[in-house]
Structure 1
Amino acid sequence: MLGALGLSTDEESVYRNLVGRTAASSADLAQTTQLPEATVRTALSQLLANGLVKRTPDGDFSAAPPAVALGALISERRDGLHTAELALVTLAEEHRVAMAGRSISELIEVVTGIDSIRHRFAQVQHAARTQVRNFVTAPFVAVPPGTNTMETVMMRRGVEYRVILERAALAEPGMIAETVTSLRKGVHVRVVESLPIKLVLADDELGLVPLTVEAGSEPGAVLLHRSGLLSAMDALFEIVWRHAHQLTLSALAGMADAHAAEVDADTPTELDRKILALLLAGLTDQVVAGQLGISLRTLQRRLRNLMDFAGVQSRMQLGWYAARHNWA
């Protein structure tokens, strides 16, 4: 817990033991912490230097008041982080100026290997200050659904996420649950029939474009710095975003855990609404049935009941009717 303040595990263990007692010798601390006495002495020496521990008149050790000692360390760390942030602004501007004169080979970096792509994917997101934009297509090679932990970290820092999904990606295992989780966190998600590439953009500074490779070949990606090519990727995303279909939490919530039974009803049930939402997103009957944990026959029977109830003859007409009556 105190590692964020620069304390080692041994130093924290010794300090915590001292906090709960008036004073103790290094031998006493070695016994209670089950650490070698030499290790305890080394930890005490560092704690003394940091002002967390003081000597008693009889040669033992006592803990300095946490509110004072740890508060001072926290203030130092906070000041250090503020200084680092100021340095970041300066360095970023120096980098931007330097990039303006760089050659094409310096503006484009080729990344190979799954681990390297995964690392760069996290780095690009971490570099964002205002927004991350992402094209998501199947198959998932480096970052499968549920493994992008950086999304949560950056959203807590106030970074906005906008994601466009290819419809086929929604049929991948775990993708519906991943999308629901993202929507609940505040990610803006839209869906289109198809996407030309995979893509992640950090503001207008960095972009990562995974490359399509032959089966059995090592995967690769291109890291783009600020350039005309990156500006083209930026424009491409915004064009696709404007024409993409918005996905909402109300339409998708609960689909990942849905195992509803067959229900005979004359009005739309929760299951009916989920069926319609997925079909309107462009998924096939087979994929929708699999996502909802129902049989294909059940899905088609529910659709037939809805069409009869709505008084329509085709699924297209049912879609219009559902939209007008807020069924999905």
Structure 2
Amino acid sequence: MLSDVLGLSPEEADSYRVLVSVASVTPTALAELVGCDILQVSRILGRLEDRGLVARSLGDATRFVAAPPAAALRAPLIQRQNELDRAQLELDSLDEIYRAVTLGRGATEVVDVIHGTEAVRERIGHMQLGARKEVMNFVKAPFFSSGNMTDEAVIERGVRYRVMVERSMLDEGAPSFDEIIQARAAGEMVRIAESVPLKLFIVDRELAIVPLLGSANAAKEGALLVHECSLLDALIALFESAWEKATPFVTSAGALRDAPAVDDLGAQILSLSLTGLTDQAIATQLRTSLRTVQRRLSQMMDTARVHNRMQLGFRAARLGWLDADQDGS
């Protein structure tokens, strides 16, 4: 934080934090506290002194004291806030211009073509970082994304993530089960479908990217960037319809509502079972034995008082074990 606000190096920020915590200190003692050599600390103290963050002790000029944090940080914070306010005004102005231009686009201007894999990845990454409300994503083989399934920093800002994965991708391991667990832990909602109609990435219901899928090398060719128009509305409606039909994917017992005596492994086995994976495929995904999977499923069938996996799926749905409202918890 100090580095961001004051433009300090990590070593300078650490030294100032130490100085704040002591009455006064010599360069030698500070060097020991921050783990730097005396020459480096002397340079750090000189830069902090130039910035008005430290001063020499009145009683002993060989010792240094920190300037009061409130006095030292208030002016830079006010300056940074003013810069952010000006940037926000500029952003609002540019957004108004963009929306005005978008509304005036002709039929041939609502869809742009992005050429090249890297250009598509970069655009998806920028769209994720700029998301304000929601990211909606169809994931279909071959795996083609800007990196991780989820940007945790974006989720921390309150952006909702909904990702629907084609079931065959679980067999192929891309994304891996570990990636899905990490995404769910970060707050992403994940559902599994037997098939996904197309690759799709929608941000804030304002922009969509549709990677081109016409050939074996389609992912390398580029994608369509769809602006606000009836086509985007149709893509959003397609996502919502498919989302309602897909199976919620849970990775912890806490996401199962009213499911008795089910731990995290049991929740994962149940979730994968309901997507249609075989017992062996489930065992492979979870790095456990086939016997363990079969035993756990048998226990859950006994609990639900059913005789086969299909009945278990119906019973779990009826009891609300995989309730859609719990999908994002």
Q: Residue in 1 aligned with 2:280?
A: 286
Q: Provide the aligned C-alpha RMSD in A.
A: 4.2
Instruction: Assess if the C-alpha contact under 8 Å between 2:253 and 2:266 holds in 1.
Output: no
2:207 maps to which residue? 206
Structure-2 change in CA distance of 1:297 and 1:225 (3 Å): same
1:240 aligns with 2:242: yes
Mapped pair 1:218 → 2:220:
yes
Q: CA deviation at 1:230?
A: 2.2
Check if 1:317 corresponds to 2:311: yes
Mapped pair 1:167 → 2:186: no
Q: Distance in 2 between matches of 1:7 and 1:214?
A: 48
* TM-score calculated relative to the size of structure 1: 0.72
Q: How many residues of Structure 1 are paired with residues of Structure 2 in the alignment?
A: 304
Letter aligned with residue 117 of structure 2:
G
Give the structure 2 partner of residue 180 of structure 1. Answer: 181
Whole-Å Cα distance in 2 between the matches of residues 119 and 155 of structure 1?
19
Change (3 A) 1:193 1:53: same
Q: For residue 34 of structure 1, give the secondary structure of its aligned residue in structure 2.
A: helix
How far apart, in 2, do the equivalents of 1:327 and 1:93 lie?
A: 45
Shift in CA distance, 35/214, structure 1 to aligned 2, threshold 3 Å: farther
**Distance 1:299-1:158 versus aligned 2 partners, 3 A rule:** closer
Give the structure 2 partner of residue 276 of structure 1.
270
Question: Residues of 2 paired with 1:13 and 1:321: CA distance?
Answer: 57
* Structure 1 position 34 matched with structure 2 position 40: yes
- The residue aligned with 1:258 is none
The 2-side partners of 1:59 and 1:322 are apart by 74
Deviation per residue, 1:104-134 (Å, 9 max, x gap): 35741414124x3332222112222221111
| Alpha-carbon distance, 1:245 to partner | 2.6
Distance of 2:266 and 2:37 partners within structure 1: 65
User: Partners of 1:107 and 1:176 in 2: how far apart?
Assistant: 34
Is 77-86 or 119-128 further displaced after alignment? 77-86
Alignment of 1:20-59 (within 5 A): 32-34=38-40, 43=47, 48=50, 51-52=52-53
Distance verdict in 2 for CA 1:36–1:64, change over 3 Å: closer
Change over 3 Å in CA distance of 1:154–1:273 after alignment to 2: closer
Distance 1:301 1:16 in 2: 56
Closer, same or farther in 2 for the Cα pair 1:71/1:143, shift >3 Å?
A: same
Instruction: Tell me what 1:113 maps to.
Output: 117
Which residue is equivalent to 1:123? 126
Displacement of 1:35: 7.6
Q: Is the 8 A contact 2:16 2:66 kept in 1?
A: yes
Paired with 2:218 and 2:110, the residues of 1 have a C-alpha distance of: 29
1:65 aligns with 2:68: yes
**Residue in 2 aligned with 1:154?**
154
Change (3 A) 1:285 1:21: same
Measured at CA, do residues 98 and 303 of structure 1 come closer, stay the same or move farther in structure 2, by a change above 3 Å?
Answer: closer
Percent of aligned pairs with the same amino acid: 39
Structure 2 CA distance for aligned equivalents of residues 111 and 241 of structure 1: 29
Tell me, in whole angstroms, the C-alpha distance in 2 between the residues paired with 1:195 and 1:96.
31
How high is the TM-score relative to the length of structure 2? 0.71
1:124-168: per-residue Cα shift (whole Å, max 9, x none)?
122222211111223323445xx2452x11222121222222222
Counterpart of 2:88 (choices 56, 73, 85) is 85
Tell me the distance in 1 between the aligned counterparts of 2:271 and 2:38: 60
Q: Deviations over 1:15-57 (max 9, x none)?
A: 67876686999xx9997352896x987x46xx74x55467999
SS in 1 for 2:220: coil
**Displacement of 1:191:** 2.4
Task: Look up the SS of the partner of 2:135 in the other structure.
Answer: strand
**CA distance in 2: counterparts of 1:101 and 1:324, whole angstroms:** 49
Distance in 1, matches of 2:131 and 2:223, equals 19
Give the whole-Å Cα distance in 1 for the aligned partners of 2:41 and 2:139.
50
Name stretches of at least 5 consecutive residues in structure 1 with no aligned partner. 254-266
Give the 3-state SS of the residue equivalent to 2:198 in structure 1.
coil
Q: Is the 8 A contact 2:110 2:228 kept in 1?
A: no
Q: Which letter maps to 1:227?
A: C
Cα drift, residue 289 of structure 1: 1.5
Counterpart Cα distance in 1 of 2:57 and 2:261? 76
